[in-house]
Structure 1
Amino acid sequence: MRFNSLILSAGVAFLTSCGTQKMTNNFHYPETKKVSHTDEYFGTKVEDPYRWLEDDRAEDTKDWVKREVAFTNDYLAKIPFREEIRAQLKDIWNYEKIGAPFKEGDFTYFYKNDGLQAQFVLYRTDKNGNTEVFLDPNKFSEKGTTSLAGVSFNKKGTLAAYSISEGGSDWNKIIIINALTKEKIDETIVDVKFSGASWLGDEGFFYSSYDKPKGSELSAKTDTHKVYFHQLGTKQSQDRLIIGGENFKRRYMSIGVSDDERFEILNASEATNGNELYIKDLSKKTDFVPVQKGYDFNTDFVDSKGDMIYALTDKNAPNMRLVKFNINNPDVWTDVIPETENVLSVSTGGGYIFAKYMKDAVTSVKQFDYDGKLIRDIQLPGIGTANGFGGKEKEKDLYFSFTNYITPGTIYKFNADAGKSEVYQKPKVKFNPEDYVSEQVFFTSKDGTKIPMMINYKKGIQLDGKNPTILYSYGGFNISLQPAFSVVNAIWMENGGIYAVPNIRGGGEYGKKWHDAGTKMQKKNVFDDFIAAGEYLQRKGYTSKDFMALSGRSNGGLLVGATMTMRPDLAKVAFPGVGVLDMLRYNKFTAGAGWSYDYGTAEDSREMFEYLKSYSPVHQVRKGVCYPSTMIITSDHDDRVVPAHSFKFGAELQEKQSCNNPVLVRIETNAGHGAGRSTDQVIGENADLLSFALYEMGLKNLKK
């Protein structure tokens, strides 16, 4: 299919929602009351008239949400090709998806989705080749909105603890079963958050939790993580507190157990960057030994061999290095895999260490022994992203996945001794990579920094400035955007659209320096990079302002919100998804204060407050400005980035928008920050996103 010729007239009907309304331009937006509220920061008063929308339990907030949902649904229902886009997505989505297998005890486990199942099902195969369902999350809830958040086995594979998330919440429950019979054998552990289950023999497991918050469970601040040990056969109320509380207050903590079950590894941090590392040797009657104290560096346990501990660190190595040290002398570190010019991550399996390097966001892999001797460079199927190469020490057959923007994710079996790979599972997607182009370009940002960008499209497009384009990025928290296939992007490109992803600062594509260059008082570098990416695409004729949509989620939602308020003339459409949009108050909710390494807080200093306010999307919406057609995306159970951010930003935009570009607030019910959503929810959101973008760009119908 191709787009019909695009008509640039607004073509927007006057819409009416239920409930009390007020007139803004040509739209009858739901009325949003303003309640006087003022905060003071370093002598500066800041008005916050929509503070009341932060109370997710209040009836007036629930009423406002109901009216906004009705308005949004009414508007989207007017788009003539919305259901056609939904049908296209549903059709391409309907293929069998199988994950890489992994062994636990006498069974081989794997995840599979037949096509349109709400959630992936966990299967297992025994030594005789008999396959059965182990866990089916589709039966956890009526509409498939309760997801399997994780599963952990004891070393023998006879016991399992699996976590469930209800409605997408970060608050989980842990259910304990006999892995052989699948029968529940203990009471359900509740109020678990940011935690897995780490087994210690057959006795029980470690898990992490916060005390039940006072106020709303979905938005109240949580900052004191505690690690407990659950002894099988006992009540949760009897679980032993291992560490945490006022005497050891940390925002995030976890205890893991080494594969040989000799060491307990305590990881503690205050923010999403930097951690403390402590290790307890269970072969001795000693307490945790500090390996790294303070939060200046990231150091993570990788593996152990006898007395030797292997760890990945950015201490004195911004691009990461693998080190080893003797548990009896933890201050003396020796390089196993030294730092290089490319960012390093590692995995272990088959008795080897696999070094995955990232150069310009693309993967290469080397195989080493535990002394750091190079065994081989691993030949990958192409240029893109490889993940995996992990497994138990005695398992010689490992698995890895390979993908890029125009190659559906394929799983390969890799023999660790022979170094040979073969296709294990190739998805049968209705998509032909040969019909598409994925090219990498480099552009110059405002301060002269070179930024890479992947541009993806169907062969044959004309660089006439009229190609509908989604510009997507993230730019924060050391997270790297590496090439990966998406059926949503496939539909966009199949219909003639361009999908462009710049690897902007704040991410981890070039290590710690790249990350730090997009944090705190340098955060605006991130927005400048994104703006420069859009200008490059327009200057080179890929697209133009009237055919560009800005998109991002979470920290990427902040990226879009800040960009559209700084440069409202850059794009026609904006999608700030589950975004951090009130930069003066983000740290007041759930674990938001843990993001301070990237953002700083309004309480840090006058300078930091003024800097945050100067780009905070909620505070930078101005009267008399024409902002892009905007669909703000959030969820009612998002307890990571609470929906109040989106509510307040939407209220500001609806009040102050000066032109006929609509402002919608799309609120998903029984969903959280993103993980665990049902297939139907994901298809529904993306059908709305793609159809809204095309409609606002002037499209009237899809050409058959």
Structure 2
Amino acid sequence: MVKNIILVCGALITLISCNQYKTKDVWTYPKLDPSPKIKEYFGTKVLDDYHQLSNLQDTAVQDWFNAQDSLAEAYFLNNELLEQYRDRFYGLQNRIVGDVSMVRISESGSYFYLKYDELKEADVLFYKKNFSEQEMEIYDPSKRYPDNPIISYLAPSYDGKKIAIGFDSMEDFTTKVIIYDLEEKTILKEEISNINPDFGGIEWLPDSSGFIYLYFPNIDLTKPNYKQNSYSVIHFLGDNPNRRTAIFGKEESYKITSDSYPKIKTGSSLDNYIIAYAAKSGDFYDSFIANTIDVLSDIPNWKPFFTTTERIYYNQGEIRGKHFIYRRATPDGNEICQVDIEDANFSNPLILAKGSRENPITKFEVTKDYIYFVKEKYGVEISLFKIDENNNEGQLTLPFVPGYASFFGESITHNDIGLGLDGWTSDYVRYCIDSIGNIAKEGLYKTASIPDYENLVYKQVMVVSHDGEEVPLSLIYRNDLEWDSNNEVFINVYGAYGVSMNPFFSPIFLDWVEQGGILAFPHVRGGGEKGREWHLQGMKGLKSNSWKDLISCTEYLIENGYAKNGLLSLYTNSAGGITGGMAVNERPELFSSFIAEVPRMHPLGLESSTSSSSTSYMEYGTIKDSLEFLGLLKMDPYLNLKSDTEYPATLIMPSSSDDRIPLWDSAKYIAKLQANNTANTPALMDIDYESGHENSAGYDAEIETYARIFSFAKTNMQH
């Protein structure tokens, strides 16, 4: 993190005074007078108290940001627990020479992966022609990019002879992509820019002669058309990458909006068709299809394929021969279906498998003869199924009961498939599945030396929410925990975009439990733990269900003796800022601290911003609709902060380079909170000047971030 040092000394005096005297007035924040602006929507006036913070180019605003960040730096400089957490987390992560990450397998069976080099303090790219072959180092990024040797993206060609390598530009929206030729053992001359793999990465052409990617012509964060008018381009290896031949998205006849992302998906070297999508926020896209030969000839005739009305999940469709296999939502859950591509009847498909609301199908993959799919009961209990060549369905026996599963190495050209499994207390393990369903460990990953977590207990309880709906709540704690209400609870919540809070293995998070605390994961509405309906019940005008579910889960922990007021820290990130921020607004006394990374704290402001290039209005609502406007107003943590209120200790951690949530979103919230808070609790804004919304500045930065989060939570517990 790049920090402003000039103001640290003055802020440190404030902190020492606070520690010594515990007086109410020692939290002297950087001065900022309100600059109120009133806007009227459908007859309702909305007061924006700190409107001036929207001007990120104003030097006075920038100085205020720096002063806020320096205050946070001073706080952590004076936090005795921070160094302890840093040391423990470095030990727990146990990054060793040979650590493997970002494994990619080509259709031909070639393995590509990163291995950590301790001397270079960077990951190096390695290659195996197949799993049993000797590995070879093929690319050391520190030689070409010594200032930024962090590989953030890999995409091998179908034939395994080329691989696209991406590097985050840290402070910019886009990624820089180069192509390595394994046969020539060299980097090709082309360098791809104006691409962001989070929105649309490299899609190799079936014959591996080139690729298609989503091109962003407008990447200046300060301009109104930022991220808009993107389109897919086709690039053949050896061509000038600046020529950028549009292949999809610029055609006016398709009526693709400027804030959609017109991107392509390819599936295998055998695909006779290629599918294009008008991507946006939400579960379903409009799609188009073209003959592969026409695409390769640069003359595609895109025809409408399916629309949002078919309720087909955008990332869950595969071509196999003449069939299109996909997952769709139904009123009672979801299904895996199949249609003939040449005569696609989406209203009457062949139904291959069904999932319920409580136990929905969440992912599937297709091999030469089989279909494998996963069900997730309440988002945390995994079961695996296989559909054979005769469309018979059977369940496979897993090595243990996992909380999360992912597939790898699948292709319609063969029947090999891999399965990655992990859970709250079980480390990630990769398995290979043979054609008769036998499951065996793959063995690529080295086993790290991590603590034994057999003394930890995981359970899920059902909590009755405000309207009688049962909300799953996952809990992790030591088996020798004393039930005396004095336990310290770290709550992690999200609740948006239909994303389930799936189990994940993290020694850093489990350290909280090893130290005697409880981890709590409320699976609130807005997520996908009970299928699509669970998502819909936490969207737009129903968004209040998300934070009311969280409040109910927090009350459950107190009423059932897990903890008491003052011992529950709340953590969230990104869109979870709405869920967490509004729960704190309504019931501030429930939480000892509130911590939010790159959070959305002012959704109405973002949707009304002239520089907004997001389609998030599909999740939260739009100011152009009178009812959806009221929903936005109701869910806005910044606008709903109360005056003269005791709020918990608050740590907001935005990024200055966030391509989705501008810095003023968090800044307005923290400015108003500092002015309104009457409790003797800190309200800090710790700005990350190096990473973006999802881009990490590296291994050390990740350790530092979590050390700050957990030390802040621990420091502000009130026994």
TM-score normalised over the length of structure 2: 0.88
**In structure 1, distance between residues paired with 2:480 and 2:613:** 45
Of residues 259, 272, 277, the one that matches 1:267 is 277
Of residues 133, 154, 164, the one that matches 1:129 is 133
1:556 aligns to 2:576 (yes or no)? yes
Deviation string 1:490-537 (CA, Å, 9 cap, x unpaired) is 211111111100111111111111110111110000011001111111
Q: Answer whether contact 1:518 1:524 (CA < 8 A) is retained.
A: yes
SS in structure 2 at match of 1:408: coil
Change (3 A) 1:294 1:388: closer
**In structure 2, distance between residues paired with 1:58 and 1:143:** 30
SS in structure 2 at match of 1:443: strand
User: What is the one-letter code of the residue matched to 1:599?
Assistant: Y
Residue 50 of structure 1: aligned partner: 50
Residue 371 of structure 2: aligned partner: 353
What is the Cα deviation at residue 133 of structure 1?
A: 2.7
1:224 aligns to 2:232 (yes or no)? no
Aligned residues: 679
Of residues 151, 162, 165, the one that matches 2:165 is 162
Change (3 A) 1:244 1:126: closer
Q: Answer whether contact 2:353 2:393 (CA < 8 A) is retained.
A: no
1:388 aligns to 2:407 (yes or no)? yes
SS in structure 2 at match of 1:280: strand
1:234 aligns to 2:239 (yes or no)? yes
User: What is the one-letter code of the residue matched to 1:227?
Assistant: S
**In structure 1, distance between residues paired with 2:623 and 2:435:** 51
**In structure 2, distance between residues paired with 1:572 and 1:169:** 35
SS in structure 2 at match of 1:185: strand
What is the Cα deviation at residue 394 of structure 1?
A: 4.8
Of residues 408, 421, 435, the one that matches 1:416 is 435
Change (3 A) 1:629 1:673: same
Residue 504 of structure 2: aligned partner: 484
What is the Cα deviation at residue 430 of structure 1?
A: 2.3
Of residues 612, 618, 623, the one that matches 1:597 is 618
**In structure 1, distance between residues paired with 2:290 and 2:457:** 51
Greater Cα offset, 83-92 or 112-121 = 112-121
**In structure 2, distance between residues paired with 1:110 and 1:140:** 18
Change (3 A) 1:651 1:567: same
Q: Answer whether contact 2:320 2:412 (CA < 8 A) is retained.
A: no
SS in structure 2 at match of 1:81: helix
**In structure 2, distance between residues paired with 1:168 and 1:367:** 44
Greater Cα offset, 332-341 or 75-84 = 332-341
1:302 aligns to 2:317 (yes or no)? yes
Q: Answer whether contact 1:168 1:673 (CA < 8 A) is retained.
A: no
**In structure 1, distance between residues paired with 2:144 and 2:514:** 35
**In structure 2, distance between residues paired with 1:611 and 1:121:** 48
Superposition map of 1:6-45 within 5 A: 14-15=14-15, 25-45=25-45
Residue 343 of structure 1: aligned partner: 360
User: What is the one-letter code of the residue matched to 2:337?
Assistant: V
**In structure 2, distance between residues paired with 1:104 and 1:137:** 25
1:661 aligns to 2:681 (yes or no)? yes
What is the Cα deviation at residue 126 of structure 1?
A: 3.6
Q: Of the two structures, which has the highest relative contact order with CA contacts closer than 8 Å and spacing of 6 or more?
A: 1
Residue 85 of structure 2: aligned partner: 85
Residue 211 of structure 1: aligned partner: 217
Change (3 A) 1:303 1:432: same
Change (3 A) 1:136 1:169: farther
User: What is the one-letter code of the residue matched to 2:543?
Assistant: K
Deviation string 1:289-329 (CA, Å, 9 cap, x unpaired) is 32212467234463333322222222x46632222212211
Change (3 A) 1:376 1:472: closer
Greater Cα offset, 588-597 or 447-456 = 588-597
Residue 20 of structure 1: aligned partner: none
Residue 379 of structure 1: aligned partner: 398
Structure 1: segments with no counterpart, 5+ residues: 1-11, 18-22, 700-704
What is the Cα deviation at residue 651 of structure 1?
A: 0.8
Change (3 A) 1:591 1:293: farther
**In structure 2, distance between residues paired with 1:214 and 1:384:** 40
Change (3 A) 1:42 1:321: same
Deviation string 1:343-363 (CA, Å, 9 cap, x unpaired) is 112012464211101112211
Deviation string 1:257-302 (CA, Å, 9 cap, x unpaired) is 2311321110113433320121112357872232212467234463
SS in structure 1 at match of 2:69: helix
User: What is the one-letter code of the residue matched to 1:298?
Assistant: I
Change (3 A) 1:675 1:583: same
Q: Answer whether contact 2:106 2:158 (CA < 8 A) is retained.
A: no
User: What is the one-letter code of the residue matched to 1:328?
Assistant: E
User: What is the one-letter code of the residue matched to 1:130?
Assistant: Q
What is the Cα deviation at residue 116 of structure 1?
A: 11
**In structure 2, distance between residues paired with 1:55 and 1:510:** 41
Of residues 497, 500, 519, the one that matches 1:499 is 519
**In structure 1, distance between residues paired with 2:613 and 2:188:** 36
> What is the percent sequence identity of the aligned residues?
23
Of residues 162, 168, 179, the one that matches 2:182 is 179
Q: Answer whether contact 2:696 2:702 (CA < 8 A) is retained.
A: no
User: What is the one-letter code of the residue matched to 2:34?
Assistant: K
TM-score normalised over the length of structure 1: 0.90
Change (3 A) 1:542 1:122: farther
Q: Answer whether contact 1:350 1:416 (CA < 8 A) is retained.
A: no
Change (3 A) 1:544 1:589: farther
Change (3 A) 1:388 1:681: same
User: What is the one-letter code of the residue matched to 1:310?
Assistant: I
SS in structure 2 at match of 1:537: helix
Q: Answer whether contact 1:557 1:575 (CA < 8 A) is retained.
A: no
SS in structure 1 at match of 2:556: helix
Change (3 A) 1:116 1:233: closer
1:320 aligns to 2:334 (yes or no)? yes
Structure 2: segments with no counterpart, 5+ residues: 1-11, 18-22
Change (3 A) 1:499 1:119: farther
Change (3 A) 1:447 1:600: same
Change (3 A) 1:267 1:322: same
What is the Cα deviation at residue 135 of structure 1?
A: 4.1
